[in-house]
Structure 1
Amino acid sequence: MSEAIKSGDTIAVDYTGKFENGDVFDSSEGRQPLTFTVDTGMLIKGFDQAVIGMKKGESKTVTIPPEMGYGPRDEEAMVEIPRAQFPQDMALTEGLELQLQNPAGQPVPARIASINETNVTMDVNHFLAGKTLVFDITIAETGLEPPAGSCGTKSGGCDSGCCGSCKCN
C-alpha cells in the first residue's frame, strides 16, 4: 500500500479545474499528468494542501477559495498606457490579452480593461484572481524525482527559473 503524500514529495496528478458554475478552465485530460513537488510554491496553496494525505490512485474534488488560490482581485492592479505606445494598425479591443513587462523585464499577462482617446487601461490581475476554484484531482504517481530545474530540486534555488514562486529558506 502506498504512503500518504506529504510536504516535499514529488507526485503526478490528473486534474480538471473548474469555476463554481462547472465551466472548465484547465485540465490535464489528453496530456501528461502534472508533475510537481508538494508544498514548494510550484502550485497554489489550496492545491498543495488538497493533495497532502492522499495516496496513489485516490481521487477527490476540492473547492479552493480565492485566498488559497490566486488571491482576491486587486482593483488597483490597473496600468494606464498611452494609446500612442501601441502600433497604429493594432486592433485594440476590450478583453484583448497582451504581454507586458515588469521593471525586471519579466512577462506579465494583462487584459485590456478599457480604451479611451488617449489611454489604454490594462488589468494585470491573474485571470483567476477573486475566483473560487473547484478541482477534480486524481493521484497518478507518487515517489517521483523532482522535475529538472524545479524549485523542488533544492539545488536550483530561487534563481533557477522559478519566476519568484519558490519558497526559499
Structure 2
Amino acid sequence: MKPISTVMMAGRGDVDFLLETFATQMIARGYRVRGIVQVNTERRPDHACDMDVKVLPDGAVYRISQSLGAGARGCRLDPEALEMSVVEVEASLRDGADLVILNKFGKQEAEGRGFRDVLASAVAEGIPVLVGLNALNKDAFDDFAAGLAAECAPTLEALTHWAENAIRDRLRDAA
C-alpha cells in the first residue's frame, strides 16, 4: 500500500467538505489525526468565499484568504497565515500521529513551501498521509511524490478503508 493517498473532486469546496467530514469521523473513532482541513465560509455572490484552515485535532483556525476587494483577480492566499498553520501542525506531530490529513497540495507546496516538508516528514516517519489535490497542481505533486501516492475514490467509505488499512499496516510493520 502506498504511504500517500490523494483525493480529487471537481466541485468547488467538495474536497474540503469531504476531508473535514472524514477527519471528524476518524478523530471520533479514536485515531490520532494531525494536519489541517479547510472550511470555506460563503459570502455575497459578488465576493469569493473566506478560506479558513483548522489545525487537527483541536488546534487553531487560521484565515488563509485575504480580502482583496470586489472584482480582484489575484491570488487571495495569505502565505503568512498558512505558514503559521504549518508551524502548528509540525509541533502537533511531536505528540505522535496515526494519520496526517492535508487539505491541499497547492501552489505553495508545488513551489517547495507550505506543507511540503510536513508531508515528506510524515512519510519518512511511516505515517499515512491523505492529501487533497486539484488538476492544476497534479503534475507538481506527482513529481514530488515520486510514485509513493495512489488516488483514492472520493467517498467516506473509500477514505476510511484506505486509512484503516494503512494504519493497521504501519502498526504491524512496527511490531
TM range (shorter): under 0.3
Q: TM-score, normalised by structure 2?
A: 0.20
Structure number having the greater strand percentage = 1
**Higher percent of residues as helix:** 2
Q: TM-score, normalised by structure 1?
A: 0.21
